[in-house]
Amino acid sequence: MASSLKVPVSFASCSIGLPKHTLHQKIEAISKAGFDGIELSFPDLQSYANLHFNRDIPDDDYVSLCEAGVAARKLVEDHGLKIMVLQPFSNFEGWAKGSQEREAAFAKARGWINIMDAVGTDMLQVGSSDSEGITASVSELAADLAELADMLAQRGYRLAYENWCWATRAPTWKHVWTIVQEANRANIGLCLDTFQTAGGEWGDPTTESGKIEMAGTSHEELDISYSSSLKELSKTIPAEKIFFLQVSDAYHVEPPLDAKTEGGLRPRGRWSHDYRPLPYDGGYLPIGAFVEAVLATGFRGWFSIEVFDGQFEKKYGDDLMGYARKAMESHKRLLGEVDTRKM
C-alpha cells in the first residue's frame, strides 16, 4: 500500500549485519537500499577505528576515535548519507553528586561531544538509565540532563532522551516526557521507539501469552489501557519535541524468558538485545498504533530502523543488501498501513 507521507528515514548501523561486517559494508548496503541517513552506533565507530589504526582502540581514547570519526564521516557522506545521531549514550543520569560514577559519566559526555564534532552530527541519543543506585528524584534526573543539554548547546547540538522499557526510573514515554519538561531546555527532546512503548506497556517476554498479565485485568482491558496511553501521547507531546522515531517489532518468546535479572540485564533488556526483528518479519507487537499516535502529534521527522534480530544469520546469512532492502520495504509498508484518518 503506497503512502502519501514523506519522512526521512535512517538505519541504525548496529542493526544490520554481523560482528564480522565492517561499517563500510553496512553503509554501502544502507545507501543502495535508498535510506537517507544512519544512526552511528558507538561500537561501529570503535570497530572502524580499530581497522583505521590497525590496533584496538579503547573506548575512552577520544583523540583516536575522533580521528577515525572524521574518516567515517567522509565515508558516510560519499555514500550520500547523513549521520543523523550518535548513539547509544547510556547510564548517564541520576548518580550522586561527587560520586565516581557521576564524574565518569560527565567525562564520557565530554568525549562523545568531541566525537559528534568529528562525525558531523548534531544529536546525541541518551537512553534512560538502567543502573542500580541512581536517584528516584525527577528533579535530580532532570538536572543532570539539563546540564548535559547545556554542554551540547554550546556547540549547537541536541539531546534526544529515550525511554528504555527496562530502565530503573524512566521506562515509559510518560516518564521521559515528565523529565524532559522538568529539564526545560530547548535542545532536549524525545526519541520515541515502537518497541520501547509497545513492549513496555503491552508486551511481556516473561509470560506465555507474550502480553502483560495482571491479576484481575483481561487482555481486552490491557488493549484499552495501551490505546488510552497512545491517545494521551498524541494529545500531550508537541511534534517539535519529538526528535526522531525508532521502529522495530519483537518476537513472541517461547518459552518465555526468566523473570530474573541475568548478566546485568532485566528481562525486557534481554528481549531488546536479541529479539527485535523488522516490522512484518515475525514480530507480534501492536506497533502500527504507536506510529499512528506519534504521527497524530504532527510529527514528520526522522523515522529510523533500529532492530536487534538474533536470527539474522539464520534468516539472511551474509545478505546485507537484501536485508537493507527488506528494511526499506517494511518502512514503506508501515507508512502505507497507517490510518491517516487518525491524524
CB atoms within 10 A of CB 275: 24
Cell, residue 317 = 546469512
* Longest pairwise C-alpha distance within the chain: 59
Residues of the chain with pLDDT under 70: 1-3, 339-343
- Give the pairing type, strands 275-276 and 308-309: antiparallel
Nearest-5° angle of CA 319, CA 323, CA 328?
150
What backbone phi and psi angles, to 5 degrees, belong to 173? -60, -35
Q: Cα separation of 48 and 257, whole Å? A: 34
Q: Cα separation of 142 and 145, whole Å? A: 5
Q: Cα separation of 283 and 285, whole Å? A: 6
What backbone phi and psi angles, to 5 degrees, belong to 161? -95, 125
Q: Cα separation of 151 and 188, whole Å? A: 12
What domains sit in the chain, N to C, each tagged with a CATH number? 9-342 (3.20.20.150)
- pLDDT (tens digit, 9 = 90+) per residue, 123-179? 999 999 999 999 999 999 999 999 999 999 999 999 999 999 999 999 999 999 999
User: 48 vs 15, 149, 171, 247, CA distance in Å?
Assistant: 16, 28, 32, 25
Which 3-state string (H, E, C) describes 290-339?
A: HHHHHHHCCCCCEEEECCEECCHHHHHCCCHHHHHHHHHHHHHHHHHHCC
Do residues 278 and 309 lie in contact, with contact meaning Cβ atoms separated by under 8 Å? yes
Do residues 12 and 38 lie in contact, with contact meaning Cβ atoms separated by under 8 Å? yes
pLDDT for res 314: 96
pLDDT for res 339: 66
Q: Cα separation of 85 and 225, whole Å? A: 32
Cell, residue 108 = 564520557
